[in-house]
Chains A and B, each alone.
Chain A
């Protein structure tokens, strides 16, 4: 990475506005509106969502203008820096509030503000009857601003600011329906597990300061090779820990499924399309470190492969439509991490899959929200069935997302997943085969979800009358469906690979073990097997309204999130609780015992001793005499000895 060109002038001087606009929206909705009085307040509550949506949309328009301006520049001039102010200065360390707009950030900006704006529009309809809608949009704007800070920052400290900001927004939004204890608990769980990852990231930042004296991407990448191998490996592993927390990778994956307690637009925006991909961004952005730390890179691949299978297995067993999609998200982020662990070969595909996944997963989550909207907020797929007639627009748009995620030839997911598996195969046969297996499982659970929701016989609850959602919700669905279909164009002529090359480094030419066409056919065959299995197991049979209890061990394990919570409980929570219990006991028995024992001994002795103070002068005189005799005897003993 070359040092960014600062003060580029023209439209690039407005870079800070991309963050400032949603931040202003959040400030107006959360900081100003609550203090208004009377009719002004009522008006703010009624129209607050328009402010929020306008802020996101304006940010998107600006991102688009910036992107076009960036396209107009030569490949060498596409890294634009903007120094806003010096954040803090201490000793030799100086951290600036610097922005960096390059090819990678440009793509993220479009995804975040674009998908973000669509989800804002959708949420206008989805949250229509919620009395706290203004606040919801304030949180959404806060999230967008924090995510943009994360992406645009030119150093790790600024990235950390955004990182924590999205964590906060995620916490607020998961727990938005705070009257539900489950939502409050899920928000807390997400927050706590994310803190574990954040420890990794903050230690990595501290180590960067200690090693390089700076955390600027340009400064670190320039001197990256100066550090020792051990330092680089430690940095890589710490960054990976941070990425695991935010991106719900094993072993910090347990929060993502619970996070579905939040309103559906939140699940779509934060827990599918953008925030959870921050870990992938972190790994790709820190490519200069991972390139020099092969052990950390291998760790990324291992974590990613485990997660992509883990998530896929969870997706197979869940009856809650949002949780099935969440498992799928975890699995797809596993694919991105896998690609990111492969080095320069994989970085562009990680970002490519991140973008296409952002489209089709947001599409499907919003589609799921639309279904829930029509089914009186029932999330159990066993109560759906035959919705393709009742909700044709939702069905069709969802189907586009479905075809994209399973990798139906021609759809966006096909291109991105195909290339990831291909490069994985070239890197390591086992990882490649597991990734291919993951694609088959993906096809299975997505087909299952599709069949249970839109096909098979109706299993609706009484008094439920599914209906199509209003236009304000279906139009974003249509846009996202179109993007899910067409997202593959980014790969046309390897555009995205060439585009990202200045950031992620040049990839050596690699030779997959089989010709590319054969691999593609193989993947498609595996996917077809997955679809067919789902058809025979779900489509051809009756789906019971109640989940069967007599199931195999595997199903039970998958329903229990593969015992993720139990593992956390056994490995962290219970030892922690025992440690705290032990310390409390030690404090009570040991420390308190010594102090209180001492004081009660003194108390007891003095209770006895004070009997000597009996008030009789003559007994005092006797004491004096005894004392005097004692002194005389002592003197005699000393003198005679």
Chain B
């Protein structure tokens, strides 16, 4: 049981660090997916421990949302890349004070 949670925490931390440190939009995106799936793992693990289905159902919801997010996110990244010839998140910094 503990192993699952620890793995989940490690995966989440990797994803988190990746989001904060990497510039490439695709890598950031993958890191976000990693964090979501770390969460899913934790949900499922706790669902198993408590013996009810709430966590498992939530995991499915997260997957649905993640899939939708990927569709939109990739579309945005592609559009930005087409106009700027760059996939760096730091380059897209015009919307500011």
> What is the CB-to-nearest-CB distance from A449 to chain B, in angstroms, rounded to a whole number?
85
A625 and B31 CA atoms in complex are apart in Å by 14
Chain B interface size band reads 10 to 19
Chain B residues contacting A610 (CB-CB under 8 Å) are 97
A614 and B93 CA atoms in complex are apart in Å by 7
Chain A residues contacting B1 (CB-CB under 8 Å) are none
Interface residues of B in 83-97 (CB under 8 A from A): 89-90, 92-97
Chain B residues contacting A618 (CB-CB under 8 Å) are 19-21, 23, 28, 89-90
Interface residues of A in 615-633 (CB under 8 A from B): 615-618, 621-622, 625
> What is the CB-to-nearest-CB distance from B27 to chain A, in angstroms, rounded to a whole number?
12
Once A616-B90, A617-B89, A618-B90 are accepted as A-B contacts, the answer to whether A625 and B20 lie under 8 Å apart by CB is yes
A73 contacts B by Cβ under 8 Å: no
Tally of A-B Cβ pairs under 8 angstroms: 33
Q: Mark A460-484, 1 if CB is under 8 A from B, else 0.
A: 0000000000000000000000000
- Contacting pair B97 A617 (CB below 8 A): no
- Contacting pair B20 A615 (CB below 8 A): no
For B25, give the chain A residue with the smallest CB separation.
A617
- Contacting pair A615 B19 (CB below 8 A): no
Q: Which 6 A-B pairs have the closest CB atoms?
A: A615-B96, A615-B93, A610-B97, A617-B89, A613-B97, A613-B96
> What is the CB-to-nearest-CB distance from A496 to chain B, in angstroms, rounded to a whole number?
92
- Contacting pair B16 A625 (CB below 8 A): yes
Chain A residues contacting B92 (CB-CB under 8 Å) are 615, 617
For B89, give the chain A residue with the smallest CB separation.
A617
Q: Mark B49-88, 1 if CB is under 8 A from A, else 0.
A: 0000000000000000000000000000000000000000
A611 contacts B by Cβ under 8 Å: yes
Q: Mark A592-626, 1 if CB is under 8 A from B, else 0.
A: 00000000000000000011011111100110010
Chain B residues contacting A622 (CB-CB under 8 Å) are 20
Interface residues of B in 8-31 (CB under 8 A from A): 16, 19-21, 23, 28
- Contacting pair B95 A615 (CB below 8 A): yes
> What is the CB-to-nearest-CB distance from B90 to chain A, in angstroms, rounded to a whole number?
6
> What is the CB-to-nearest-CB distance from A610 to chain B, in angstroms, rounded to a whole number?
4
Q: Which listed residue, A611, A615, A621, A625, touches B94 by the CB 8 Å rule?
A: A615
Q: Mark A406-450, 1 if CB is under 8 A from B, else 0.
A: 000000000000000000000000000000000000000000000
CB pairs A–B below 8 angstroms (7 shown): A610-B97, A613-B97, A615-B97, A616-B89, A616-B93, A618-B90, A621-B19
For A628, give the chain B residue with the smallest CB separation.
B16
A613 and B96 CA atoms in complex are apart in Å by 5
> What is the CB-to-nearest-CB distance from A428 to chain B, in angstroms, rounded to a whole number?
87
Chain A residues contacting B93 (CB-CB under 8 Å) are 614-617
| Most A-side CB within 10 Å, residue of B92, B93, B94 | B93
A622 and B23 CA atoms in complex are apart in Å by 14
A613 and B97 CA atoms in complex are apart in Å by 5
Sample of 13 more A-B contacts, CB < 8 Å, known A615-B96, A616-B90, A616-B93: A610-B97, A613-B97, A615-B93, A615-B95, A617-B28, A617-B89, A617-B90, A617-B93, A618-B19, A618-B23, A618-B89, A618-B90, A625-B20
